[in-house]
Amino acid sequence: MTALTENRYTKHRDGIITAHPVKAGAHIYKGSFVCADATGYSVPGADTAGLKLLGVAIEEADNTDGADAALSIRVQAAGVFSFAKTGAITQADLGAALFISDDQTAALAADVTNDIPCGRLEALDGSGAVWVRIHL
């Protein structure tokens, strides 16, 4: 390709809600962290090496009996979401990077093994949950 010499229309999407094919055997629940595994299919968020955060599930996708990509799941890739926390996350950690412990739990790096990033600490809500800012 050569550099532009005139204006062009560039196709685009807002990118906040995206759809991704689901891994065979995976059951992803609405409201959970959703990750891509090493093969590029959606799986529930987990502290598993090689996973990459895609966002938060806005619907359930039960592909327990299906093949790879038999279903797709819609995820929200930006926003501030309430998740359970594990470990000693305190107000002093405001703005700190958070990591996936499981599909509904965020933690500091010291409390997970594989450091799968899920966002930044936006706030504590006083009931044992954290607000996680995701912007992919």
Res 81: pLDDT: 98
In a domain, 9, yes or no: no
Residues 92 and 56 in one domain: no
- State how far the Cα of 116 lies from the Cα of 77, in Å rounded to an integer: 15
Q: By residue range, what is the domain housing residue 104?
A: 78-135
Q: Among 39, 41, 55, 43, which Cα is nearest to 118's?
A: 55
Give the chain's radius of gyration (CA, Å).
Answer: 17
Q: Is 2 exposed, middle or buried (0-12, 13-18, 19+ CB in 10 A)?
A: exposed
Confidence of residue 126 (pLDDT cuts 50, 70, 90): confident
**Together in a domain, 87 and 72:** no
In a domain, 6, yes or no: no
> Are 126 and 91 found together in one domain?
yes
Q: Considering the domain boundaries, does residue 24 fall inside one?
A: yes
Stretch 100-106: mean pLDDT: 98
Instruction: List the structure tokens of 121.
Output: 């600490």
CA 6/CA 49 separation, integer angstroms: 45
Task: Kindly tell me if the per-residue pLDDT of 118 is higher than 90.
Answer: yes
- Kindly state whether residue 114 falls inside one of the protein's structural domains: yes
Structure tokens at 99: 């990591």
- Same domain, residue pair 60 and 83: no
pLDDT tops 90 at residue 136: no
**Could you tell me if 69 and 33 lie in one domain?**
yes
* Amino acid present at 95: G
What is the number of residues in the chain?
136
Residue 100 parent element (H or E): strand 97-102
